[in-house]
Each structure stands twice: as structure tokens, then as C-alpha cells.
Amino acid sequence: MSKRANGEGSIYQRKSDGKWVGSIVQPDGKRKVFYGKKRSEVSQKVNAALNQLQQGTFVNAKTQPLKEYLENWLEEVHKPTIRLSSYVKYRKLLNNHILPGLGHIPLQKLMPQQVQVFYSSKLKKGLSPKMVNSIHGVLHKALDNAVKWNLVTRNVCDAVSPPRIPKKEKQILTKEQAQALLEHVKEHRLEALLTLAITTGMRRGEILALRWADINFEERSVQVKRTVDYIPKHGFVETEPKTNKGRRKIMLAVFVVEVLINHQLQQEEQRAKVGAAWIDKDLVFTNAWGDYFSPNTLLKVFGRVLAEAGLPHVRFHDLRHSAATLLLGMRIHPKIVQEILGHSQITMTLDTYSHALPSMQDEVTGRWDDEFGASPAPKS
């Protein structure tokens, strides 16, 4: 049998287990083998590899550096499927950590021990366990794709233990503190924004992307349809909520609607002052010219408001936690709280805010006492 020339492929069915096997001869004379349950599956892999050989783009996974593979994976494969904000995050993790630390290692020679030592070194340099877990997540996802492409036989990250993320106790405002905050911001430029945050649990990006068209004053409801974030070098970027549950309708209390109506009147006055310079995007919360309200500005002003009100410092996102806790404390059913927050599963609501539930057990124990605690009547 004559030796097969470079650039030719072969496919056959293995008798031992019935699997289909395909192979090509690489430029270095070595054979690259592909496996599959169906002939068509293997044929597709062989043809793709042959096409790459003809175009000069075929990659030998044994010598390909991890850096080269990760760059191709992120830019050509993963980028089209994710949000811009996620891409920017992945790009930063690759550039700042993964590529400098592991990029020089050939893809097929990457070992679990090397990854584990890499994680440990990052922790020793002061990176948080959460950041190292983010690095692990990106690397794991990329190597899953390498397994799918038959470049490696296993994902080495499966044999690595990322650091445990310590569970932080959520900082929330009590009912009295939330009332004090809303009382303090009456007539303040953030009154409507903070009132909406505390009573609906809407995320910062959801609030800053809110349009007047999303508010139904007669029905007393608000529709969450989008979110916005500021991404360096890209500006303000709007996207839809990540899940279907994220697109939701939230009913508003009467006093919240009244605050929003007053805010709308104030905005009309500001619009009249600015005149033709006003940027009309129908946004509910804007800067002085009608454009997006800067998230950084919001955080700075929010921090000052808390200090002026004599309240503990909390993150803006903690208003969402506060809203959920207050709702559960008011005996609102967890299913309704899930819908208000836009959680995809009720288990997420219960797991995240289980701290708000123990106080409700008083009612349960009381009912047990009512039904079983009374002394039985003496027998005659």
C-alpha cells in the first residue's frame, strides 16, 4: 500500500466498537486522527482539516501555544455570541492574567498542576477569590471549546479547584432606614430614582435605561425592557435583559407614581431651560441635557446623600437587596418577589434572601400552638 500524500484524508469504521475514524497527513508527515459515532460527523471534521491545509491555516494542536488558541477562540468564536460588556471583561482577563501567565504553554501540554499553581500565584499577589474564579470561568469555557474541536481530549480545568468565594453578608437598609432615606431626598434630584429603586428593586442599568413610554400612569406600572451601561472606549451601550424573566412588568404604589409625575414636571422645566440643546431620548432619568445619566455620577451623589442622611454606606445595588428583604418582611409571597426582581428561578430568590424568611416562622409556630398546643378536654 502506497504512503498517503500530505493533504489527503481517509475514513473507515472501526470493527472493535463501531466508531468511525478519519485521518489526515499533516505537513510534518504525522497523522491527525478524528473520531465520531457517524461517518458524516467524521467526514465533516476531515474535510474541514483538509480545507485548512489547503489554505495554510491548519493548526497543529501539539505545538500551538495556548495564547494563539485563546485569541482565536475569543475573537472568532465567542465574541459574536456574547454581550459587548462580557467581551470587554473576557478581553481584560485574558490580557491582564491568563495570557501572561499561561499563554506560552502549548495547548495540548497544559496540565492541571500548572493551572492550579497559576491560580495560587494570583491569590498570593492579592487577587480576590472572586476574580480568580472569573479567570477560571473564562479558561474553562475556552477549553470546553477545544475539547469540542477535538484539539484536546479533556478539559484540564475539570481537574483544578478554584478558590472558594467567601459569602459576604448583604448590606441592606432596614425599613426605618429606607423611610429615612426617602424622607431625606424629598425635592432632591434623586428622589424619583431612589424611590423607584427601593420600591421595585430594579437594577441600576434598568433604571438608567427607563423611558417614559415604559411607564403606564393609569395602570400604575412600569415595564422593564432594557438595561444600559457605560463601557470605556464604547460609551453607553443598551442591551435587553439577559433572561425572559428580566423583561417584566412591575406594579407601582400610588406614592411612587406621584413622585414620578412630579419628576416629569421638573424634567420639563429643565428641558425648557436647555431649549434646542436638549437631547430627546425619552429617558426618565437624564443628565442636564437629556442624555444618559452617568453611572459614576449617580454613585457619587448617592454616597453623599447617604452621608448627609446619617445612614450607613451601602452600594447602590444594595437597594435591590433592601427592596427584596422589605417585600418579604411585608409577607409578600416569594413568587411575587421573584417576578418583581426578574429572577429566572424562584430558588434564586429564596437562596439569596433566605435571611428575610426566619422572622416569618413566628406565624408558623403560633398556628401550631393554636391547633395542637391547647390542653385536651378531660375525659368524663
Q: CB–CB of 25/5 below 8 Å? A: yes
Please check whether residues 303 and 232 belong to one and the same domain.
yes
Provide the number of structural domains found in the chain. Answer: 3
In a domain, 198, yes or no: yes
Domain limits for position 46: 9-55
- C-alpha to C-alpha distance for 285 and 292, rounded to whole angstroms: 7
Three-class SS state of 9: strand
pLDDT in tens, 177-231: 999 999 999 999 999 999 999 999 999 999 999 999 999 999 999 999 999 999 9
In a domain, 167, yes or no: no
**CATH (domain of 122):** 1.10.150.130
The DSSP call for residue 356 is G
**CATH (domain of 291):** 1.10.443.10
Please check whether residues 51 and 130 belong to one and the same domain.
no
Please check whether residues 286 and 191 belong to one and the same domain.
yes
Please check whether residues 262 and 313 belong to one and the same domain.
yes
C-alpha cell at 132: 480568580
Q: CB–CB of 192/207 below 8 Å? A: no
Mean pLDDT of 170-179: 92
Please check whether residues 44 and 70 belong to one and the same domain.
no
Strands ordered across the beta sheet of 248-251? 215-216, 221-224, 248-251
Cβ burial of 373 (10 Å; 0-12, 13-18, 19+) is: exposed
Residue 124's pLDDT is what? 96
Give the domain-ending residue among 118, 133, 159. Answer: 159
Highest mean pLDDT: which range of 44-58, 62-76, 245-259, 320-334: 245-259
Residue 37's pLDDT is what? 86
Please check whether residues 70 and 198 belong to one and the same domain.
no
Q: CB–CB of 42/25 below 8 Å? A: no
Please check whether residues 332 and 235 belong to one and the same domain.
yes
Q: What confidence category does residue 55 fall into, taking pLDDT thresholds of 50, 70 and 90?
A: low
- C-alpha to C-alpha distance for 283 and 200, rounded to whole angstroms: 18
The DSSP call for residue 357 is S
Q: CB–CB of 33/21 below 8 Å? A: yes
Checking if the pLDDT of 115 tops 90, the result is yes
Please check whether residues 72 and 51 belong to one and the same domain.
no
Please check whether residues 193 and 235 belong to one and the same domain.
yes
pLDDT in tens, 340-368: 999 988 888 887 777 666 555 666 777 77
In a domain, 125, yes or no: yes
pLDDT in tens, 13-37: 988 888 898 888 776 666 778 888 8
Please check whether residues 257 and 312 belong to one and the same domain.
yes
- C-alpha to C-alpha distance for 148 and 255, rounded to whole angstroms: 55
Please check whether residues 106 and 234 belong to one and the same domain.
no
Checking if the pLDDT of 2 tops 50, the result is no
Specify whether the backbone of 233 is left (phi greater than 0), alpha (psi in -120 to 50) or beta. left
Between vectors from CA 161 to CA 157 and to CA 166, what angle results, nearest 5°?
130
C-alpha cell at 167: 459569602
Checking if the pLDDT of 148 tops 70, the result is yes
Mean pLDDT of 132-151: 93
Give the domain-ending residue among 97, 129, 159. Answer: 159
Least Cα distance to 125 among 86, 153, 158, 96 occurs for 96
Which H/E stretch holds residue 143? helix 129-148
Residue 3's pLDDT is what? 42
Please check whether residues 181 and 307 belong to one and the same domain.
yes
In a domain, 143, yes or no: yes
